[in-house]
Amino acid sequence: MLRFSTTKVVLMLAVTVFVCLLAVPNLMAPDTRNALREAIPGWVPSWLVPTQAVVLGLDLQGGSHVLLEVDSNDLVRSQVATLRDDVRRILRETRVAPQGGIVAMPRGVQLRFASEADRDKVLPRLRELSQPIGNAILGQTGERNIDITTNGDTVQLTLSQAGIDERVRRAVDQAIEVLRRRVDALGTTEPNIQRQGADRILVQVPGLQDPQRLKEILGRTAKLQFRFVADAGANPSDVEMMPSRDSGGQMMPVERRVIVEGEDLTDAQPAFDQRTGEPIVNFRFNVRGAQRFGQATSENVGRPLAIVLDNEVISAPRILQPITGGSGQISGNFTVEQANNLAILLRAGALPAKLTIVEERTVGPGLGQDSIEAGKMAAIVGTVLVAVFLIASYGIFGLIADLAVLINVIMIIGLLSALGATLTLPGIAGIVLTVGMAVDSNVLIYERIREEKRAGRSVISALDAGFSRALSTIIDSNITTLIAGVVLFLLGSGPVRGFAVTLSIGIVTTVFTAFTLTRLMTALWFRTVRPTTIPL
């Protein structure tokens, strides 16, 4: 066990040195790291020059972690509404009236026809509503978004589960895009926005000063609509009652017909009203929006136009003259921040569905800094305690073990940096724990050497036997811990995951150092000192 071929030694040292070098960028200032990254000539592969530092978790650098969930009930409701509108249109076009009208069901509608002839007249048109699910790239799944069942003269149209799932999936994709634009507009560094599970989106924003504002920006659907306030004589089925912000939540009758929607906006900027000095939002329409808005305002001069945001009337100014320039302004007793937020929301676009915050974890910068200090302190004190104890117990071998542990920790940091893993407070705990447990492999080896020595073996044969016999034990005991670590990584989330990462990496480096560095250093000691007894 103590003889090494030169190739092996070179290889071991090369791996060790390389992994340790990966930790070096952590000592540099961020600017130096960037400068280094820039300075690498093109012909050098980027992985050869380490430029990445450990990413600190939100619990260490402060920031917000917000988990949002797409409200699938909301999506189903709006899809049922669309289905109902489509069915109504078909019935009108085919001039068939079902008995009892269109009957609402939890996930669809039901029609009862007076005769099978009536039914057969409508059925082919209804079947057109049911579309296959899938797309051009991935091919068809064979499932359809709407199930149509007939029973005598009754026809049921139901949203299929596959169709709803597909709709939720698309909504999450769209929402991620919208959220990304919104968070970017806040001007934060390196936000992380990703899908989680079927219907959730995880937003992580480090180092945020105002987490409350982040949530306001994330949570709003921001569906903007321009609709006319209904006249007294309007048909009740064309009118919807909505709370009005202007008059403190009083209900206001608004026409169901939408003139222009938020998707036709090309720009929105916060500004101040030139006359009143009140914060407002200036907006501009695209060509289609400008045309419709121009036409509607020309035909309805004098009528109040409701500006509706997420089913609430923000304000309902009277149209004084046709607005044909394609731009306008929204006022509504805003504060400066509200106007700013609204402009961001309008520029980023509306969410395809309502999002609910199901989990939030915000850490202020103060606590993060305290945690870093505490973690550092614990790591230093823990390492020193263990190091002193090892030297007291094993003398020169203890020193070898200490060196191995130190290199071990540097390698963990190096691998964490290179893998882009996140270091959390529990992750630091994992490192400290590894320091305690990494020693185990050295202890196993030394105790075995001691035993072999007592059994009357010569120096070299005791060392040899000590290493080789401890090998299988070290592997077995570390693999069991590794299994626990990997499971923790797969099932855990956030900080716990950070712990699992450092624990697992720590186990790998521990086994590596025990079988290369400790052995190498022992062999080196043996060759230079040529001992007659083992000082253990």
> Where does 233-364 have alpha helices with state H?
287-299, 336-348
Determine the interface stretch with another protein among 155-163, 297-305, 414-422, 497-505 (rule: CB under 8 A): 497-505
Answer yes or no whether residue 56 interacts with another protein by CB under 8 A. no
Determine the interface stretch with another protein among 22-30, 173-181, 212-220, 277-285 (rule: CB under 8 A): 212-220
Q: Of 22, 55, 69, 168, which one interacts with another protein (CB under 8 A)?
A: 69
Contacts of residue 315, Cβ cutoff 8 Å, sequence gap at least 6? 245, 246, 306, 307, 330, 331, 332
Q: Of 50, 163, 191, 211, which one interacts with another protein (CB under 8 A)?
A: 211
Interface of this chain with another protein, residues 413 to 432, rule: CB under 8 A: 425-426, 428-429, 432
- For residue 239, give the 3-state DSSP assignment: strand
Do the Cβ atoms of 289 and 211 come closer than 8 Å?
Answer: no
Secondary structure element (H or E) that encloses residue 314, with its range: strand 312-315
Answer yes or no whether residue 375 interacts with another protein by CB under 8 A. yes
Q: Of 231, 238, 337, 370, which one interacts with another protein (CB under 8 A)?
A: 370
Answer yes or no whether residue 72 interacts with another protein by CB under 8 A. no
- For residue 201, give the 3-state DSSP assignment: strand
Beta strands of 11-164 (E only): which ranges? 55-56, 63-70, 103-105, 108-112, 132-135, 139-144, 146-151, 154-159
Q: What are phi and psi of 322, to 5 degrees?
A: -60, 135
**Max Cα-Cα span within the chain:** 111
Q: Of 124, 132, 243, 436, which one interacts with another protein (CB under 8 A)?
A: 436
Answer yes or no whether residue 356 interacts with another protein by CB under 8 A. yes
CB of 58 to another protein, least distance (A): 11
x/- letters, 187..206, toward another protein (CB under 8 A)? --------------------
Rounded distance between C-alpha atoms, residue 524 and residue 399, angstroms: 13
354 class by beta-carbon count within 10 Å (0-12 exposed, 13-18 middle, 19+ buried): buried
Q: Of 184, 298, 454, 531, which one interacts with another protein (CB under 8 A)?
A: 454
Nearest CB to another protein, comparing residues 289 and 430: 430
CB of 160 to another protein, least distance (A): 24
CB of 345 to another protein, least distance (A): 17
Answer yes or no whether residue 63 interacts with another protein by CB under 8 A. no
Rounded distance between C-alpha atoms, residue 354 and residue 331, angstroms: 24
- For residue 270, give the 3-state DSSP assignment: strand
Determine the interface stretch with another protein among 12-20, 72-80, 121-129, 434-442 (rule: CB under 8 A): 434-442
Report in angstroms the alpha-carbon separations of 27 from 21, 22, 163, 221, 330. 11, 11, 52, 44, 51
Rounded distance between C-alpha atoms, residue 183 and residue 345, angstroms: 10
Q: One-letter amino acid identity for 230?
A: A
CB of 309 to another protein, least distance (A): 18
Answer yes or no whether residue 218 interacts with another protein by CB under 8 A. no
The structure tokens 């945020």 sit at 208
Answer yes or no whether residue 443 interacts with another protein by CB under 8 A. yes
Answer yes or no whether residue 317 interacts with another protein by CB under 8 A. no
Q: What are phi and psi of 251, to 5 degrees?
A: -80, 145
Rounded distance between C-alpha atoms, residue 104 and residue 101, angstroms: 9
Q: Of 283, 285, 334, 499, which one interacts with another protein (CB under 8 A)?
A: 499
Interface of this chain with another protein, residues 274 to 313, rule: CB under 8 A: none
Q: Of 282, 360, 406, 524, which one interacts with another protein (CB under 8 A)?
A: 360
Determine the interface stretch with another protein among 75-83, 135-143, 169-177, 354-362 (rule: CB under 8 A): 354-362
Answer yes or no whether residue 487 interacts with another protein by CB under 8 A. yes
Nearest CB to another protein, comparing residues 231 and 370: 370
x/- letters, 389..418, toward another protein (CB under 8 A)? xx-xxxx-----------------------
Answer yes or no whether residue 230 interacts with another protein by CB under 8 A. no
Answer yes or no whether residue 120 interacts with another protein by CB under 8 A. no
